[in-house]
């Protein structure tokens, strides 16, 4: 791949935004859950942005999942999306370039007892170099109560050349909770080397750890990350985590899913699908097929 000089994004100006529409439940309708997008940069440009998005789903008397909490700040805008069923659906929308160097972004999502919550995003997230030399942080915290279901299905994270990002995703599940989590990472945009990316994924159910893994890629990563025992030159990698009570009694059988993907049962009511691919499109095809195979 060709080498580029990283283009650092200067995001000196940001503004508070409050959106309101009349029709509840419409895309971009914070009235459905009081969504507010606000945010700004600290007085020091190098300090980065601090932004938190909070999402909470609860079941009403009719068994329909509602969104009593739907709040976003700065680049983390949240929008309710129409649903044809009883689940609540939310889309994360990028309101400005992020994460850049020095940014601290957090998404907190909770599915209350018996609730069903689907969370996606409107576009890929691109980690870019910013004015600060410090790495950006992006933390995702998912909480799933008893008999609840949460589907975390964002678009890809792209690690652009010159960027530095540390990402953590932590899911805490109560007994009987269900989770479908997809994580996709693309190392570099077309024709460029990747940035520095460290990603940690932790999933716990009923106080027990089902999965705790960390991956580092790009400049500064331990040697071998791109070797034959790891990515082997592939630039898109992803995983799918499924937690379901039935898997405690009928665990999945380990097997290959094509040439570059594998299904592994976890020590508990869960399974993990790991895949690598040449690009984001091929990776998505593999993971979509995995969803069909596990009959979610």
Q: pLDDT of 120-134, one tens digit each?
A: 999 999 999 998 889
pLDDT, residue 25, reads 39
State the average pLDDT over residues 280-293. Answer: 93
Q: What are phi and psi of 287, to 5 degrees?
A: -70, -35
pLDDT, residue 184, reads 98
pLDDT, residue 207, reads 97
Select from 221, 241, 246 the least CA-distant residue to 231.
221
Q: Where are the domains of the chain?
A: 98-293
pLDDT, mean over the chain: 87
The answer to whether residue 64 scores a pLDDT higher than 90 is yes
Place of tokens 């009987």: 176
pLDDT, residue 229, reads 80
Rounded Cα–Cα distance for residues 238 and 255 (Å): 17
Place of tokens 């009923």: 206
Residue 117: how many CB atoms within 10 A of its CB? 25
Which has more confidence, 225 or 165? 165
Distance of CA 187 to the CA centre of its chain: 16
Q: Model-level pTM?
A: 0.84
pLDDT, residue 288, reads 94
The answer to whether residue 32 scores a pLDDT higher than 50 is no
Rounded Cα–Cα distance for residues 195 and 164 (Å): 6
pLDDT, residue 37, reads 37
Which has more confidence, 194 or 37? 194
Q: pLDDT of 67-113, one tens digit each?
A: 999 999 999 999 999 988 899 999 999 989 999 999 999 999 999 99
pLDDT, residue 47, reads 75
pLDDT, residue 16, reads 35
Half-sphere exposure of residue 54, counting CA atoms within 13 Å on the CB side? Answer: 7
Q: Residue 190: which pLDDT band, with cuts at 50, 70 and 90?
A: confident
Output helix, strand, coil percentages for the chain, rounded to the nearest 5.
10, 45, 45
Radius of gyration of the chain measured on its C-alpha atoms: 19
Rounded Cα–Cα distance for residues 259 and 275 (Å): 9
Percent of all residues in the chain with a pLDDT value above 90, rounded to a whole number: 72
The answer to whether residue 39 scores a pLDDT higher than 60 is no
In contact, 256 and 286? CB cutoff 8 Å: no
Q: Residue 8: which pLDDT band, with cuts at 50, 70 and 90?
A: low
Any idea of the CA torsion for 57, 165, 287, 174, to the nearest 10 degrees?
Answer: -40
């Amino acid at each position: 791949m060709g080498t580029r000089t990283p283009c650092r994004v200067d995001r000196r100006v940001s503004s508070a935004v409050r959106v309101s529409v009349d029709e509840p439940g419409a895309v971009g309708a914070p009235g459905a859950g009081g969504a507010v997008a606000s945010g700004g940069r600290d007085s020091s440009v190098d300090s980065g942005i601090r932004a938190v998005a909070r999402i909470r789903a609860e079941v009403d008397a009719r068994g329909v999942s509602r969104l009593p909490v739907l709040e976003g700040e700065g680049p983390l805008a949240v929008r309710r999306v129409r649903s044809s069923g009883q689940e609540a659906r939310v889309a994360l929308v990028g309101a400005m370039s992020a994460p850049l160097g020095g940014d601290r972004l957090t998404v907190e999502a909770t599915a209350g007892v018996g609730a069903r919550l689907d969370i996606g995003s409107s576009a890929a997230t691109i980690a870019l170099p910013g004015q600060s030399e410090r790495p950006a942080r992006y933390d995702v915290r998912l909480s799933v109560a008893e008999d609840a279901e949460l589907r975390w299905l964002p678009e890809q994270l792209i690690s652009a050349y010159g960027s530095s990002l540390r990402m953590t995703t932590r899911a805490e599940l109560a007994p009987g909770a269900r989770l479908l989590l997809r994580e996709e990472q693309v190392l570099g945009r077309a024709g460029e080397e990747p940035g520095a990316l460290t990603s940690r994924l932790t999933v716990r159910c009923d106080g027990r750890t089902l999965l705790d893994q960390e991956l580092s890629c790009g400049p500064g990563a331990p040697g071998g990350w791109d070797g034959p025992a790891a990515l082997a030159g592939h630039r898109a990698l992803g995983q799918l985590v499924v937690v379901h009570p039935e898997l405690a009694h009928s665990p999945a059988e380990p097997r290959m899913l094509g040439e570059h993907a594998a299904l592994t049962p976890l020590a508990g009511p869960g399974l993990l699908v790991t895949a690598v691919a040449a690009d984001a499109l091929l990776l998505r095809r593999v993971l979509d097929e995995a969803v069909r195979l596990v009959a979610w």
